Amino acid sequence: MGISISGDSKYFQMDTKNSTYLIGVAPDGFLGHMYYGEKLQTGRDFDYDGLSWLLGKGFAERDKINFEDSFPWEYGMPGYGDFREHCLEIAAEEGKEALEFRYAGYELLPEKPDLQGLPGVFGEDGDTLVIRLREQKLSLVVELVYSVFEKEDAIVKSVRIKNEGASACFLTRVLTSQVELPPGQYDLITLHGSWGREREPYRREIGWDCQSISSIRGVSSHQSNPFMAVVSRNADEETGTVYGMNLVYSGNFLAETQMSQFGTVRGVMGIHPHQFRWKLAAGECFVAPEVVHIFSSEGIGGMSRRFHDLYRGHLIRGPYRDRKRPVLINNWEATYFNFNTEKLWEIAEKAAECGIEMLVMDDGWFGHREDDSTSLGDWETNENKLPGGLKRLVEGVKERGLAFGIWMEPEMVSPDSDLYREHPDWIIGQQGRETSRGRNQYVLDFSRPEVREEIYRRICRVLQSADITYVKWDMNRCLTHVPEGEVYHRYVLGVYDLQNRLTTDFPNLLLENCSSGGGRFDAGMLYYSPQIWCSDDTDAIERLRIQRGTAMVYPLSAMGAHVSDCPNHATRRTTPFATRGDVALAGTFGYELDVTAIAEEDRQAIRRQIEVYHQYHELICQGDYYRLPSQAEGRDYDCYMVVSKDKSQALISFVRTNVRLNYPEERIYLRGLSEEKLYRLSDRETTISGSVLMKVGLKVNGAEGEYQSKQIYLTELKDSES
Ligand code: DGJ
């Protein structure tokens, strides 16, 4: 059990393998945050009494606001004297109210409670503490829900707001989680980006006052990922203290840090309050999406590995979670909209010869869609392109030895579509204003059940019409003209509802999420799809940064990565075919090129790459990921390694990104190996101990030219072999 409670029920301690989280009730009933950090060897009541000073001295009525101004609130509230960034704002009929929540009891649950339509971390672990706070005047109850995942050093928080009064109120700001850190020198790491340049790590000092990241695009976004880490200033990949926070949500979010006048640092995270006004009728309960907190005293790499373990074991679901994913070929960069049945069969035939296992037909197969201006919503096969429909096409693909997957964009409608002509009022918009188009399309209002119902009926009809085992669920514009109220959040719940129905009704379907590349790569989506398309930028050199940034939080097993043609369609860069294969290996592996039109030599290379994929897939998807110093640290290469849990195998991936003469000696200091074990390296005769490889380092030979790559496989030399 990772939760202990003092005899007088005033102190609550949550322990993971390496961390402790401590909360206390101050004498006046306010709930205070006392400690979050390296594990404390405590749990006895006298220790808690000795720590009670962390909750401040209490207040005299004449100066209550001074007390509130510095109290380490576990869940901050405005209107009284807490002037820092806070989690909750509520309006009664008369307007916004000052909130004063006081402790009102606790409950221990053997497992995590359901999140009412929201995705969440699950598992046999997950002992849960619920702390109740009550606001007397409004008869509102806030329940702070904490689930402890010991092995992964994770504490997962969500919050429930219950209206126990007789009249409705309006929630105008409900952030899920708040942490209060003592004064210190901290940096903030977030993942910023853009289309084609997703999730670049950005590190800066936390100074006085606020810094925030957010999305009000209706999706978690290319520009900012719902993740932040507050790290000690000296933290690097292997050492230092790291507090990671990741919102399990796919819509608008806000994450902020604030250094107070006294040097304490508060972090808050949750749904963005923009246009949010949720009516909470008497007797109703609102559940906010959960925040995963990871603590690591083993640096930033330690945080990433804990996120990966938690998400692989306790977030991603379905038969494909641990199963080897089929090597796929997607026709988008091969044909764009210009294809027909014959062309797809040709691709399938050649792909099968190379060992590829699935053909994915991308955009352009339905309605009369020949470009991006029409037909979204009309999910009927275009028989001019695909005579005989999906059934004939899929049968032909299967005869050629491949499984079949399909692209859809269920949340969207084209103005030129029968669906829009029938239901022009089904799009998201504001009365009296023309909704702007994005990529020629509108967003269907998935907050409305009747809209979802019709779209789901259409999706099912497609999936039942042929043997389709994979769906790429795309989403190519953000939300605008969203009315104030509940639409933003209900929209996200609507997307979750449909993906939940889809994966329940078609349990063997492999779902891959996508949003103009990686615009919705978040933990919420991972609950429904074990893999997400990482970026529309398939250039191998660009991908190195994108995948490295993505792996800050999300496991390699979740990253959709494909080998594409050169010159790359987006960047015009040419890289060796072998390098493109090595780079795509750090994810769910596939191809995105016209396999009928490339050189025979490249087709041979595909065969070899697929063998390598089969050989290393398990290690890459299940192993521990270590970022090694790379471009961002001033190197002329990118390098990472994956080590099996038992440390008997490892794979090093090295790509030269720049060539300079007489550059400094390149030594790669390996990580994560066993000091004692002897390792055999795939590219040399000698065996080397883990200790030497980590302390003296390794020279990588054979990747000297620009964009050349090298992979080195390490296996433990067993006693019987030495
Ligand atoms: C955006 C996706 O990211 C691409 O892979 C492709 O599916 C296009 N949409 C199709 O319109």
Mean pLDDT by 10 residues, the chain (722 residues): 91 96 95 96 84 88 89 88 93 87 95 93 86 94 97 97 96 97 97 98 97 98 98 97 98 98 97 98 98 98 98 95 94 98 98 98 98 98 97 98 98 98 97 95 98 98 98 98 97 98 97 98 98 98 98 98 97 98 96 98 98 97 97 94 98 96 86 97 95 97 94 91 68
pLDDT of residue 665: 77
In testing the pocket of ligand 1, which one of 330, 374, 516 has its CB within 8 Å of the most ligand atoms?
516
pLDDT digits (tens, 9 = 90+) for 689-710: 999 999 999 999 999 999 999 9
Q: What DSSP element (H or E) covers 170?
A: strand 169-181
Please state, in angstroms and rounded to a whole number, the distance separating the CA atoms of residues 301 and 556: 14
Strand partners, 294: 154, 244
Q: How remote is the CA of residue 372 from the centroid of ligand 1, in Å? A: 10
Q: Backbone phi, then psi, for 610, in 5-degree steps?
A: -70, -35
Residue nearest to atom 10 of ligand 1 (CA): 363
- Angle at which helices 600-622 and 341-354 cross, to 10°: 70
100 vs 76: CA distance, rounded Å = 10
How many angstroms separate the Cα of 579 from the Cα of each of 424, 534, 537, 565?
Answer: 48, 18, 15, 12
- Give, as one character, the DSSP assignment of residue 73: B
Ligand 1 pocket test, candidate residues 470, 533, 559, 591, most atoms within 8 A of CB: 533
CA Rg value for the chain: 27
> First vs last Cα of the chain: how many Å apart?
43
pLDDT in tens, 586-608: 989 999 999 999 999 999 999 99
Q: How far apart are CA 478 and CA 488, in angstroms?
A: 11
Coil vs helix vs strand at 395: helix
DSSP secondary structure string for all residues of 286-335: EEEEEEEEEEESBHHHHHHHHHHHHHHHHT--STTTTSPPPPEEESHHHH
Answer yes or no: are the C-beta atoms of 404 and 359 closer than 8 Å: yes
Please give the helix or strand (H or E) that residue 348 lies within, else none. Answer: helix 341-354
Q: How far is the CA of 66 from the centre of ligand 1 (A)?
A: 54
* Euclidean distance between CA atoms 153 and 289, whole angstroms: 20
What the block records as the tokens of 57 is 């001295």
Cα–Cα distance for residue pair 676/7, rounded to 1 Å: 46
Among 195, 409, 441, 474, the mutation site with the greatest number of ligand 1 atoms within 8 A of its Cβ is 474
What's the confidence (pLDDT) of residue 722? 62
Question: CB within 6 Å of ligand 1 — which residues?
Answer: 332, 362-363, 407, 474, 476, 514, 516-517, 533, 536
- Active-site residue, from 127, 363, 445, 474: 474
pLDDT of residue 60: 83
**Overall pTM > 0.75:** yes
Which of 282, 200, 254 has its CA nearest to residue 535? 200
Find out whether 406 and 412 touch, Cβ atoms under 8 Å: no
In the residue annotation, 624 being an active-site residue is answered as: no
- Nearest-angstrom CA–CA distance, 435 and 17: 51
Tell the burial category of 637 from Cβ atoms under 10 Å away from its Cβ (0-12, 13-18, 19+). Answer: buried
The residue contributing the CA closest to ligand 1 atom 1 is: 516
Using CA of residue 571, residue 572, residue 574, residue 579, what is the dihedral sign? positive
- Which residue, judged by its Cα, is nearest atom 9 of ligand 1? 516
* Rounded Cα–Cα distance for residues 400 and 21 (Å): 57
Interatomic CA distance for residues 428 and 418, integer angstroms? 17
Instruction: Indicate which atom in ligand 1 lies nearest the CA of residue 407.
Output: 7
557: left (phi over 0), alpha (psi -120 to 50) or beta: alpha
CA quadruple 43, 46, 51, 53: dihedral positive or negative? positive
| Ligand 1 centroid to residue 416 C-alpha, Å | 19
Ligand 1, closest atom to CA 515?
3
Centroid of ligand 1 to alpha carbon of 79 (angstroms): 46
Query: How far, in Å, from the CA of 72 to the mean position of ligand 1?
Result: 46
Catalytic entry in 15, 363, 445, 536: 536
As a whole number of angstroms, the distance between CA 465 and CA 1 comes to 49
Nearest to 519 by CA among 510, 530, 538, 532: 532
Q: Exposed, middle or buried: residue 531 (CB in 10 Å: 0-12, 13-18, 19+)?
A: buried
Question: Separation of 517 CA from ligand 1 center, angstroms?
Answer: 7
Q: Name the residue of 194, 197, 362 to mutate for ligand 1: max ligand atoms within 8 A of Cβ.
A: 362
Given a contact cutoff of 8 angstroms between Cβ atoms, the answer to whether 656 and 709 are in contact is yes
- Residue 236 bears catalytic tag: no
Taking all residues of the chain, what is their mean pLDDT, rounded to a whole number?
96
- Å from CA of 706 to ligand 1 middle: 30
Specify the DSSP element, H or E, that contains 489: helix 487-505
